[in-house]
């Protein structure tokens, strides 16, 4: 007999045995199975060279879906949508789009390090009990993994780890991200995070932008590096600059770039250091913890009291006053350091401020805030990004004049964006928008000239004394210009040469 025929014969025997075994399990009465089942299993393991592992949907805890099953489910969506013939469409909890997985009793093949294996999706339907007070038992779903026994070590070790890791990553990618905020009871509540800001739409110097994006991507891929150097996988960013320069927009762009959740931590709503620690420990991996206007949130300067006065808190009756937060600087520092050491997984912590000089150096020292990023007034390069976003143009005859004015005059990206917003819905009047912006810049320049003139007059008056007062001819500033608004672009020049 030829070798091929021997194999074919053996193959048919094994198939025949497996068929009989399946019939036996399905139809033979439970009560009579005992020893037959035991010997059947032994015979099966002799003739059948494959190992099977089952993963049940509900394992230990009856009402909690098994994490392993969920991870496998997500892992298999990638393979299933490519190769399974019968698919099940599911919206899934917290999923941002439709997910396709293989339907019950379907099988897909997978390959790992050149080894082939098979996943099948199964379901057992328990027989209904005719006279039972309880509701019908539920279907039980499970996945079955089949592979040759010579690959046991590879599959039970590296392959299953790979499945769990990839499954979690797929799940993270498919999930709907959340924006968390804390309340007075030290509990996070959340809404869906759906901010459109991205680094492409962020108006700032392209070189600086690329540096930040590279830094973030390097961080997100550096899990092994961080564990190798014995450092927690965390990074701190300090974003500082005047109002309306894109600090909050950058936090959203960071979250969108890395697919992270955002925890917007309102320090003034945190009762004390213990609550702060609790809140920070409860944050999840792959998230940004942001404390906006950090200078106004802590007793780091008189700023918080000033804010309170502005709100009129001092005159309010006792019962209407906000309960004062007892979070201290050292409490915050300890909580951040605690977070750094106590929690696993990637986290960014971001502080934003308009007054970087007033922050305590301990709060922003390297190691806590690893990267200091200044967001500043609109430069020509940033303006071009806004023009592209808002008006969809790369060039225009007014660009040159606008560019020249932007070198001298300080204007925030938020103000520029306002001029570039279409005034009528569905209609983009490019010329009108740019002309408005140009006029605004020219008005600011004129105001700056008049303001400087006024100052010269004051100095001249002071020098001339009482008698000579009013003899120096000057212009007066135009009405309607904001008091104390910086106009001339001196700060930008200084900032460019600053070490940050």
Ligand X SMILES: Nc1ncnc2c1ncn2[C@@H]1O[C@H](COP(=O)(O)OP(=O)(O)OP(=O)(O)O)[C@@H](O)[C@H]1O
Please state the closest distance from residue 382 (CB atom) to ligand X, in A: 6
Residue 232 interacting partner from Mg ion, ligand X, none (CB closer than 5 to 8 Å by kind): none
Give, as one character, the DSSP assignment of residue 284: P
Please state the closest distance from residue 203 (CB atom) to ligand X, in A: 3
- The residue assigned the tokens 């049940």 is 56
Widest CA span of the chain, in angstroms? Answer: 130
**Order of strands, sheet of 115-124, starting from the edge strand that comes earlier in the sequence:** 50-56, 140-148, 115-124, 107-112
Please state the closest distance from residue 248 (CB atom) to Mg ion, in A: 3
102 CB neighbour count, 10 Å cutoff: 24
**Would you count residue 167 as binding ligand X (CB under 6 A)?**
no
Q: Which of 143, 246, 340, 387 binds ligand X (CB under 6 A)?
A: 246
92 versus 241: smaller Cβ distance to Mg ion: 241
Residue pair 54/123 in contact (Cβ under 8 Å)? The answer is no
Which of the ranges 360-368, 396-404, 409-417, 435-443 carries the binding residues for ligand X, by CB under 6 A? 409-417
Q: Which of 74, 80, 248, 335 binds ligand X (CB under 6 A)?
A: 248
Which of the ranges 83-91, 172-180, 196-204, 208-216 carries the binding residues for ligand X, by CB under 6 A? 196-204
Give, as one character, the DSSP assignment of residue 149: G
String of contacts with ligand X for each residue 129-148, x by CB under 6 A: --------------------
Cβ-closest residue to ligand X? 246
**Would you count residue 248 as binding Mg ion (CB under 5 A)?**
yes
**Would you count residue 245 as binding Mg ion (CB under 5 A)?**
no
Residue pair 259/253 in contact (Cβ under 8 Å)? The answer is no
Residues near 349 by Cβ (< 8 Å), separated by ≥ 6?
234, 235, 236, 237, 288, 289, 290, 291, 336, 339
Residues near 12 by Cβ (< 8 Å), separated by ≥ 6?
none
Q: Which of 70, 80, 182, 245 binds ligand X (CB under 6 A)?
A: 245
**Would you count residue 413 as binding ligand X (CB under 6 A)?**
yes
Main-chain dihedrals φ then ψ at residue 453, nearest 5 degrees: -60, -45
Residue 368 interacting partner from Mg ion, ligand X, none (CB closer than 5 to 8 Å by kind): none
Q: Which of 121, 249, 256, 297 binds ligand X (CB under 6 A)?
A: 249
- Residues 97 and 173: their CA atoms lie apart, in Å, by 10
Which of the ranges 103-111, 244-252, 296-304, 393-401 carries the binding residues for ligand X, by CB under 6 A? 244-252
Residue pair 350/370 in contact (Cβ under 8 Å)? The answer is no
Q: Which of 35, 130, 243, 367 binds ligand X (CB under 6 A)?
A: 243
- Going from the C-alpha of 439 to that of each of 39, 300, 417, the distances in angstroms are 93, 40, 15
- List residues binding ligand X (CB under 6 A): 201-204, 243-249, 354, 375, 413-414, 417
């Amino acid at each position: 007999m030829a070798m091929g025929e021997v194999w074919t014969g053996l193959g048919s025997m094994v198939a025949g045995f497996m068929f009989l075994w399946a019939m036996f399990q399905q139809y033979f009465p439970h009560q009579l199975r005992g020893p037959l089942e035991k010997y059947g299993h032994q015979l099966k393991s002799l003739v059948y060279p494959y190992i099977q592992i089952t993963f049940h949907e509900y394992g230990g805890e009856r009402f909690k879906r098994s994490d392993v099953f969920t991870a496998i489910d997500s892992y298999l969506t990638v393979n299933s949508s490519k190769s399974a013939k019968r698919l099940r469409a599911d919206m899934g909890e917290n999923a941002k789009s439709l997910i396709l997985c293989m339907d019950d009793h379907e099988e897909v093949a997978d390959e790992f390090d050149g080894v082939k294996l098979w996943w099948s999706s199964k379901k057992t339907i328990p027989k209904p009990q005719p006279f039972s007070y309880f509701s019908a038992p539920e279907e039980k779903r499970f996945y079955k993994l089949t592979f040759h026994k010579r690959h046991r070590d590879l599959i039970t070790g590296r392959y299953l780890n790979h499945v769990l890791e990839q499954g979690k990553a797929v799940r993270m990618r498919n999930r709907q991200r959340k924006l968390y905020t804390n309340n007075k009871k030290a509990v996070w509540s959340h809404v869906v995070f759906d901010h459109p800001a991205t680094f492409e739409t962020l108006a700032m110097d392209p070189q600086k932008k690329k540096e930040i994006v590279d830094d973030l991507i390097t961080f997100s891929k550096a899990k092994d590096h961080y564990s190798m150097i014995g450092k927690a996988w965390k990074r701190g960013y300090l974003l500082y600059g005047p109002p309306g320069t894109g600090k909050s927009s950058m936090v959203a762009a960071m979250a969108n770039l890395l697919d992270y959740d955002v925890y917007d931590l309102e320090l003034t709503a945190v009762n004390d250091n213990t609550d702060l620690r609790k809140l920070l420990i409860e944050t999840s991996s792959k998230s940004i913890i942001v404390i906006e206007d950090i200078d106004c949130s802590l007793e780091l300067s008189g700023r918080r009291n000033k804010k309170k006065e502005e709100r009129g808190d001092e005159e309010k009756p006792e019962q209407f006053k906000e309960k004062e937060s007892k979070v201290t600087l050292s409490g915050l520092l300890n909580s951040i350091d605690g977070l750094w050491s106590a929690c696993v997984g990637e986290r960014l912590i971001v502080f934003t401020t308009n007054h970087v000089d007033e922050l305590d150096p301990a709060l922003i020292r390297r190691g806590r805030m690893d990267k200091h990023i200044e967001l500043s007034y609109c430069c020509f390069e940033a303006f071009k990004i806004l023009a592209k976003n808002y008006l969809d143009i790369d060039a225009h005859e007014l660009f040159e004049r606008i560019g020249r004015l932007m070198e001298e005059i300080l204007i925030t990206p938020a103000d520029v964006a306002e001029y570039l917003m279409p005034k009528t819905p569905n209609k983009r009047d490019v010329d009108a928008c740019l002309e408005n912006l140009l006029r605004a810049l020219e008005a600011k320049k004129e105001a700056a000239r008049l303001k400087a003139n006024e100052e010269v007059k004051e100095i001249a008056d002071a020098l001339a004394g009482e008698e000579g007062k009013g003899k120096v001819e000057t212009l007066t500033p135009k009405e309607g210009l904001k008091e104390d608004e910086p106009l001339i672009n001196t700060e930008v020049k200084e900032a460019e040469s600053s070490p940050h």
